Structures are given as structure tokens and as C-alpha cells.
Amino acid sequence: MGLYGSAMAELFGPVLSRVQLFAYCERPFIWRLAQKLRLSLFMHGDVIYELGSVGHDMYIIWKGAVGLVGPDGVLAAMLTDGEHFGELGLMAAHYPRPHRAVSLRPCDVLMLSRWELQVSVRARARPCVWVCVWFGRHVRTYV
């Protein structure tokens, strides 16, 4: 992967391993996923994704705050450093997002795409079990 991938893995691997979805995955799998993360900056008021859009990415807040706004316009959740959202987009391609995500202040957000997760899981079969078990337990709470 090179210098960039190594730096991403070293810097963001520990953050990724604290995400409940990946908590029981092996270090080499986390390392591989961390190399695939993209870092994006969202300014105050930027819409990260819209209500009803189909998701393809999961987001982890590196620094900042994000509000999840429900269909009624009410703030359903406020997330800050180290918290994640949009994980449904990694596994359930056909479900619309149940809320709108808006940056509440300047935010550095790590993004993991469904494609990168699938490639990493195919390369290492064992982590797939943990990811599938987690989604089997939690996906029903979102739909």
C-alpha cells in the first residue's frame, strides 16, 4: 500500500478497532481496513448524506460533531469524536438512510466504503463471521 496506507493504518487503526462492528476482528484485518479509510473535511452545516439516500459508506468522526436529523426535522442524535454512523450502508445496500447527517461544526470524518470492506473480508474469511454476526443483531433496529 505504501507510505500513505501505512500512515493511515498506524494513525487510524486504533480508532477503527474501537468501533463495535470491528471490536473482535484480528489486528491484520483492522490494519488492512485502516489503510482503505478516506479522510474528509465537512464544514459547519454541510450535509454528509440526505434522509432517504442509499448508503455506501460508514463514517467515523475523527474530530468534530455530527447531528443525525430524523424525518420530522428533530435532532435524533449528536455524535462526537470517535463515534460512528452510517454503518447500515456497509451491508444493506437497498435500505434508505433513516436520517440526515449534518456537520454541527468543522469535522474530520473517516469514511469506509462498502466496496473496501467487501474486498478486505474476501481477503480474510475469519473477520467476516464477526461482521455478519454484528449486523445480524443490529440491522433490524435500523429498518
What are the pLDDT digits (tens) for 108-141? 999 999 888 888 887 765 555 555 555 555 544 4
Of 77 and 118, more confident: 77
DSSP-assigned letters across all residues of the chain: --HHHHHHHHHHHHHHHTSGGGTTS-HHHHHHHHHH-EEEEE-TT-EEE-TTPBP-EEEEEEESEEEEE-TTS-EEEEEETT-EE-THHHH-TTSBPSSEEEESS-EEEEEEEHHHHHHHHHH-HHHHHHHHHHHHHHGGGT-
* The pLDDT of residue 11: 87
Please say if the pLDDT value at position 28 is more than 80: yes
